[in-house]
Structure 1
């Protein structure tokens, strides 16, 4: 499904609002403008934190999926695709923290029935509790592409 979706939407551009939750309870949200662009094998996005633009991308090739984000994950990381997950794609990886076992990070791109796209990122504690981290909701801006 992913490859056919990437082909169908190649060249499209999207704009919307990004939500970032940093507090442990997940109640305080930081909102910014965001964009998304779909190119061959790449879904890239921008968002902002404290007035500074951040960039990220998911790159899909024969070796799998690589994710990078200038604020969350500046060094590219290989992600495992979750087969059977709902949405356009769902990937995850684990990351080390100095004072505990590895944590998890899951990213999912979905398309709502109204055509908008939703990119969600979830932080997963070593004991399995999931906390919302990021949600970006996009509307297509170049309908002729």
Structure 2
């Protein structure tokens, strides 16, 4: 990554797009284990901050699954040399003791990354796709999709945020 390319991205490119997500957010967390049955809905608070001179975002959040607290941290970035979105996600509920690394084409209008996880029993891996859609400066929707080993995709998590502050 050249300094000029990064500065251009900060000014008008993907890194500017990431910077617009910086702030404190509140919203609703919704979770599905099957397509037709909402398993949980709870308030969620998040803070998104820029790190390393705008190279990455760190999203820290708190919500609940039923009566259990859930905490998570995600690093989002855009890899200029590869032209890809990237993320690394850890959570007290969803990822257990693993780090989910995900990547996705930079051609997508918003961050759209794909990772995978094991079923814990040695079976085939499942896909996990995450999208970030900032529809306006004060609205951010994060959607996560489960993808079966056969390729069937279904919504698993949706967080609809409203900005509290920049």
Specify which structure has the higher proportion of helix: 2
Structure 2 vs 1, CA of residues 62 and 19 (structure 1 numbering), >3 Å: closer, same or farther? Answer: closer
Secondary structure of the equivalent of 1:101?
coil
1:30 paired residue number: 40
Given that 2:47 and 2:60 are in contact with CA atoms closer than 8 Å, whether structure 1 keeps it comes out as: yes
1:52 paired residue number: 68
Q: How far, CA to CA, are the matches of 2:72 and 2:89 in structure 1?
A: 7
Structure 1 stretches lacking a partner, 5+ long? none
After TM superposition, the score normalised by the length of structure 1 is 0.83
Q: How far, CA to CA, are the matches of 1:54 and 1:13 in structure 2?
A: 18
Q: CA RMSD in A?
A: 2.2
Given that 1:58 and 1:65 are in contact with CA atoms closer than 8 Å, whether structure 2 keeps it comes out as: yes
Secondary structure of the equivalent of 1:3?
helix
2:115 paired residue number: 93
1:4 to 8, 16, 24: 16
Greater mean deviation of Cα atoms: 107-116 or 26-35 = 107-116
1:20 to 31, 46, 49: 31
Secondary structure of the equivalent of 2:100?
strand
Q: How far, CA to CA, are the matches of 2:19 and 2:35 in structure 1?
A: 39
Could you say which structure has the larger radius of gyration?
A: 2
Structure 2 vs 1, CA of residues 5 and 36 (structure 1 numbering), >3 Å: closer, same or farther? Answer: farther
Given that 1:6 and 1:39 are in contact with CA atoms closer than 8 Å, whether structure 2 keeps it comes out as: no
1:82 to 97, 105, 111: 105
Off by >6 Å, runs of 4+ in structure 1: none
